[in-house]
Amino acid sequence: MRLRWAVPFAATGCWYSPPDVAIVKEIPISPGEVGGVAFVACVLDGDTVDLYACGLENGGETIRMLGINTPEIEHPGEPAECWGDEAAAETSGLLLGREVLVTYDGGKREDLYGRTLAYLWAIDQTLEDLSDLPGIAEVVELDSDLAEDGRALLINEYLAAQGHARVYGPEVFGELKLQARLEAAQAAAEVAGRGLWGACEEAR
């Protein structure tokens, strides 16, 4: 695990960590669907991160987490949406400076903005670092093929389960392989009033 210090990087509006870690290993499971383990160098908002380095011009790859949508943070001329800052802070705390496993759904690989659509998983040391967070035990897999010890946490699902993200319907990216799983996570968050479901009037 290569945890690095992180400071706000005003020029890009994201959180930045030194971009000195590339892919650390390839995992040959389900060819074409598993990308490998990479370092999260930059968190752009609640559902978007840069791997390897902060910014495409520096060799980074922008990942848009598949199947979920977090409220927007502040942009020039546009105020932050309800729970946007909280969702971005949650993703930063979960992933910034840590290694994640990247997998794909088998459908579209990019969105309209050229961002890679992917699932992000916490395994190995990253999952160990997150293991005491609320709700982890409810969504962590115990018999996953993605990790040697069988334990894997789907970050997309965790964000939905904790009320930091809404789940897209099939009309956006098609029927995802994990669609039902993500929708169940959102339903649990709604019932419990977690995150945006309890804080944002428009979500009720």
Can you give the residue range of the structural domain that contains 156? 7-197
Q: Please check whether residue 1 lies inside any domain of the structure.
A: no
Taking each continuous run of H as one helix and of E as one strand, the counts in the chain are: 7, 10
In this predicted model, what pLDDT tens digit does every residue of 28-69 receive, in sequence order?
Answer: 334 457 788 888 889 999 999 998 888 888 888 899 999 999
Q: Please check whether residue 37 lies inside any domain of the structure.
A: yes
Q: Please check whether residue 2 lies inside any domain of the structure.
A: no
| Tens digit of each residue's pLDDT, the chain (204 residues) | 333 333 333 334 454 444 444 444 444 334 457 788 888 889 999 999 998 888 888 888 899 999 999 999 999 999 999 999 999 999 999 999 899 999 999 888 899 999 999 999 999 999 999 999 999 999 999 999 888 899 999 999 999 999 999 999 999 988 899 999 999 999 999 999 999 999 999 876
Q: Please check whether residue 202 lies inside any domain of the structure.
A: no
CA neighbor of 65 nearest in space, from 83, 51, 85: 51
Can you give the CATH number for the domain in which 162 is found? Answer: 2.40.50.90
Q: Please check whether residue 165 lies inside any domain of the structure.
A: yes
Total domains, the chain: 1
- pTM for the structure as a whole: 0.87
Q: Please check whether residue 101 lies inside any domain of the structure.
A: yes
